[in-house]
Structure 1
């Protein structure tokens, strides 16, 4: 795996990209934006969301961090070396890998299409922002 080396990783960019995905998620699922719709679609109350076990957020942070590392390495290896290119690359990866995954799973789980759009849209925007941040550093 010579393509996956720590020397290609811009650690500050990875940390900022990870934080940015949380900022996007906070804004996306906020009670004044898509939060009420999302909660209704998944069957949660605002109280349940507010009192969720902290371990869920830790796990999300670990996945966001690893995702930013992989995004960084892929961008370097594929010479995606700009803010705009990073945003497009991140959005494309999210559309294919993450939103596509939700289309498959939500389809089999008979979840509402609106839920797929809400969650998939979040992933596309979050990884576009992460890609743009990484693109500013590589």
Structure 2
């Protein structure tokens, strides 16, 4: 399997760009701050350099894992434990190799991952944190969009 480092790097930047837009006061930022109980004082208390660097590192880890959700060939590669000379792998690649490596397909699987992984996780956390549906939907919406864009980049950029 080929590894497109540039695609992963670009995909890792997506959460920062999407977050800048999504959590901007002109979009969902004001509503999010209210339901998250985030004050101006709390926002200014963090070390922004550390927050952005750690976010970028974690985003790269996320981008690396997204490939397993959006690229079907990764499943075949894992199934044969990396033995690309395997007849099973060769047959799969001959029939399906590259067939679903599109931006559209990656976005679909990314969005599905957001809905079926992120929503339950954030929803459960929010219930125990006594946060409401607005909090859940704002944060889940961000992640569904973000992972859809990441999936599109990773799947479609060959």
TM-score of the pair, normalised by structure 1: 0.85
3-state SS in 1 of match to 2:18 = helix
3-state SS in 1 of match to 2:31 = helix
Aligned match for 1:63, one of 58, 69, 91: 58
Aligned match for 1:94, one of 102, 107, 114: 114
**Which residue of structure 2 lines up, in the alignment, with residue 110 of structure 1?**
130
Bigger radius of gyration, 1 or 2? 2
Alignment of 1:1-138 (within 5 A): 7-54=1-48, 55-76=50-71, 77-78=74-75, 80-138=100-158
- Distance of 2:126 and 2:66 partners within structure 1: 25
Tell me the CA shift for residue 14 of structure 1.
0.6
For residues 72-129 of structure 1, what are the alpha-carbon distances to aligned partners after superposition, in whole Å with 9 as ceiling and x for unaligned? Answer: 2443315641100000111111111122200111112211111000000000000001
Tell me the CA shift for residue 45 of structure 1.
2.2
Tell me the CA shift for residue 24 of structure 1.
0.8
Q: Which runs of 5+ in 2 are unaligned?
A: 76-97
TM-score of the pair, normalised by structure 2: 0.75
Q: Which runs of 5+ in 1 are unaligned?
A: 1-6
